[in-house]
Amino acid sequence: MVKPPLRTKSIGFKVSEEEYARLETAAQASGRTLGEWCREAILRGGASDSERHDPALAEIVGVRLLLVNVLRPLAAGEKLAPEAFDKMLDQISEVKHELAAKLQQAARKKPQPEKTSGDGKR
């Protein structure tokens, strides 16, 4: 059995009561102690698995791809053979997670607009 590396360094930071409760809930949901969960979250860059691989976003992307690829030929009066439809479903299944990940990355990189006060001053 391989032993984990000896951890001799410590990192600490303060959080609010609300933040602590959120962290504790996330740790419990993953079946880890709070320290283990925080270590893993920090070492993977802070993004949770759900943030990096949002299944709902992937499905939305998949449905959009399906609609676009099915409705265009139908709107042009073409017929879609069952084999072509099945092939399309397979292709969409292959690319939807990749496209969803790209959308998430683009959203994270997009600069947030600066907030202004009610009088137009920043």
Say if CB 34 and CB 24 are below 8 A apart: yes
Close Cβ partners of 30 (under 8 Å, ≥ 6 residues apart): 37
Domain range for 30: 17-46
Residue 10 located in a structural domain: no
pTM of the full structure: 0.42
Residue 7 lies in a domain: no
> Do residue 33 and residue 67 come from a single domain?
no
Task: Verify that 26 and 55 share a domain, yes or no.
Answer: no
Q: How many CB atoms lie within 10 A of CB 62?
A: 18
105 and 73 in a common domain: yes
Same domain, 63 and 102: yes
8 A C-beta contact, residue 74 and residue 84:
no
Residue 71: both structure tokens together:
């409705």
Walk along the chain (122 residues) and give the pLDDT tens digit of each residue: 778 788 888 888 888 999 899 899 888 988 989 998 888 888 877 555 444 556 777 888 888 888 988 898 889 999 989 998 889 888 888 888 788 777 777 777 766 555 555 555 55
Give yes or no: residues 32 and 60 share one domain: no
In a domain, 65, yes or no: yes
The number of folded domains in the chain is 2
Q: Which two tokens stand for residue 112?
A: 């947030």
Residues whose CB is less than 8 angstroms from the CB of residue 42 and which lie 6 or more positions away in sequence, other chains included: 11
Return the percent helix, strand and coil in the chain, to nearest 5.
65, 0, 35
- Does 57 share its domain with 87? yes
Q: How many helices (H) and strands (E) does the chain have?
A: 5, 0
